[in-house]
Amino acid sequence: MSALNRRAFVRQMAGGVVATSLLAAIAGCGRKQAARAQLVPAGSTVLALGDSLTYGTGASPETAYPTVLAELSGWNVVNAGVSGNTSAQALERLPGLLAEHQPKLVIVSIGGNDFLRQLPEADTRANIIAICRQALGSGAQVLLVAVPKVSMVAALGQMSDHPLYADIAAELNVPLQREGWSKVLCDSKLRSDAVHANAQGYAQFAHSLHSTVVAAGLLRQ
């Protein structure tokens, strides 16, 4: 290869490296960094916001998931689950709960009643985003819990998370509990009825959630 050709080759390669690096940088700008959670010390107040699955319908209050999670984590977990609540109703209750309890972490598990009542998905999404933003604005961290979507296969015991939860978690850069309720509610041995867990199911969910908060950096092992 002549000296002239070598110089042309080097310029071509350098241009390719710069172009590749620029494309990678542009692509990287479109991706958010993974959520960096802060440790929530033992004894901290944690607010579990939700509906009947948070309240513990189908089992006793002592076996509801917030109670079990409190035992596993050492947190003071406030059960703010109200049976039948929609995302709009949970959003309406949230300001008073934040003012009263001043939690370090809010666990958001809501939306199931919206799906059962076939409320507009856009409204559910907007309400859940507003809940998370309001909690974050109070100084609390947020852990979002995915709720199963309603479908024909769900009626046959095959459930999967509604995709809006992964979208919201990515948009707000908050940790997400995946498949916790889906795995419990698709197993007849873990259910008290078609849409509620039993004591064993709530315990399994709480243990799964505990693993998630440890993995997210909210709690030490």
* Per-residue pLDDT at 88: 98
Residue 75 gets which letter from DSSP? -
Least confident of 110-114, 150-154, 173-177, 179-183: 150-154
* pLDDT band at residue 36 using 50, 70 and 90 as cut-offs: low
Structure tokens at 161: 């998370």
| Contact call for residues 59 and 190 (beta carbons, < 8 A) | no
* pLDDT band at residue 68 using 50, 70 and 90 as cut-offs: very high
* Per-residue pLDDT at 221: 80
Q: In this structure, which CATH number among 1.10.340.30, 3.30.365.10, 3.40.50.1110, 3.40.50.970 belongs to the domain 45-216?
A: 3.40.50.1110
Pick from 175, 207, 178: which is nearest to 190 by CA? 207
Residue 51 gets which letter from DSSP? S
Distance CA 49, CA 14 (A): 55
The pTM of this model reads 0.83
Distance CA 181, CA 39 (A): 24
Distance CA 155, CA 166 (A): 22
Report residue 137: phi and psi, to 5°.
Answer: -65, -25
- Position 103 pLDDT exceeds 80: yes
Distance CA 122, CA 164 (A): 10
- Position 27 pLDDT exceeds 50: no
Cα 144 versus chain centre, distance: 2
| Contact call for residues 218 and 40 (beta carbons, < 8 A) | yes
